[in-house]
Chains A and B, each alone.
Chain A
Amino acid sequence: MRRDLTAAAQALRIGAGQGLAGWTVLAGRCLFYVLIMTVLSALWDKVAAEPVAGAIPLPKGDLVLYVLATEWITLALPSVHLRFEDDIRSGGLEPHLLRPKFYLLQSLAQSLGGTLVRLAALGVTAVAWLAATGRAGPPPAAYPYLAVLGVLAVTVGMLLYATAGLCAFWARRILPFQLVIQKLMFLLGGLFAPISLYPDWLRKIGEVTPFAAHLYWAGIQALHPSGTMFLKAAAWQVLWIALLSLLCVALWRAGLAKVLREGGV
Chain B
Amino acid sequence: MSAVITVKSLSKAYRYARRRGGFFEAFSPEHVIVEAVAGVDFEIGAGERVAIIGPNGAGKSTTLKMLSGILEPSSGEASVLGLTPWKQRKALAYKIGVVFGQRSQLWGELPARESFALLRHIYDQEAAPFAKRLGELTERFALADLLDQPVHRMSLGQRMRCEITASLLHGPNLLFLDEPTIGLDVTAKAAIRDFIREHARDHGQTVLLTSHDTRDIELVCDRVIVVNQGRIVVDQPTDQLRRRFLGRKIITFQSAGQGVSLDLPGVTRRASEAHATILEVDTRLTRVEQVIAAALADGGIEDVTIEDPPMEEVIAEIYASTHAA
Q: Do A and B actually bind?
A: yes
Within 8 A of B (CB), among A1-56: 20-21, 23
Does B264 belong to the interface (CB within 8 Å)?
no
> Among B19-27, B79-87, B165-173, B245-253, which stretch is in contact with chain A?
B19-27
The smallest C-beta distance from A46 to any residue of chain B, in angstroms, reads 39
Q: Which residue of chain A has the shortest Cβ distance to B23 in the bound complex?
A: A20
Interface residues on chain B, number (Cβ under 8 Å): 4
Which residues of B are found within 8 Å of A21, using beta-carbon distances? 19, 26
The smallest C-beta distance from B59 to any residue of chain A, in angstroms, reads 27
Q: Which residue of chain B has the shortest Cβ distance to A20 in the bound complex?
A: B26
Which residues of A are found within 8 Å of B19, using beta-carbon distances? 21
Within 8 A of B (CB), among A171-222: none
Complexed CA–CA distance, A21 and B20 (Å) = 10
Query: Which interface residue of B19, B23, B26, B27 has the most chain A CB atoms within 10 A?
Result: B26
The smallest C-beta distance from A93 to any residue of chain B, in angstroms, reads 17
The smallest C-beta distance from A264 to any residue of chain B, in angstroms, reads 11
The smallest C-beta distance from A53 to any residue of chain B, in angstroms, reads 54
Which residues of B are found within 8 Å of A23, using beta-carbon distances? 26-27
Binary contact track B14-53/A, C-beta < 8 Å → 1, others 0: 0000010001001100000000000000000000000000
The smallest C-beta distance from A4 to any residue of chain B, in angstroms, reads 25
The smallest C-beta distance from A94 to any residue of chain B, in angstroms, reads 14
The smallest C-beta distance from B28 to any residue of chain A, in angstroms, reads 11
Q: Which residue of chain B has the shortest Cβ distance to A26 in the bound complex?
A: B26
Within 8 A of A (CB), among B156-209: none
Which residues of B are found within 8 Å of A20, using beta-carbon distances? 23, 26
The smallest C-beta distance from B308 to any residue of chain A, in angstroms, reads 28
Q: Which residue of chain A has the shortest Cβ distance to B21 in the bound complex?
A: A17
Binary contact track A89-121/B, C-beta < 8 Å → 1, others 0: 000000000000000000000000000000000
The smallest C-beta distance from A13 to any residue of chain B, in angstroms, reads 11
Complexed CA–CA distance, A20 and B19 (Å) = 10
Q: Which residue of chain A has the shortest Cβ distance to B17 in the bound complex?
A: A21
Complexed CA–CA distance, A49 and B19 (Å) = 50
Within 8 A of B (CB), among A140-155: none
Within 8 A of B (CB), among A117-150: none
The smallest C-beta distance from A23 to any residue of chain B, in angstroms, reads 5
Complexed CA–CA distance, A23 and B19 (Å) = 12
The smallest C-beta distance from A24 to any residue of chain B, in angstroms, reads 10
Pairs A-B, 4 closest by C-beta atoms: A20-B26, A23-B26, A21-B19, A20-B23
A-B contact pairs, 5 of them (CB 8 A): A20-B23, A20-B26, A21-B26, A23-B26, A23-B27
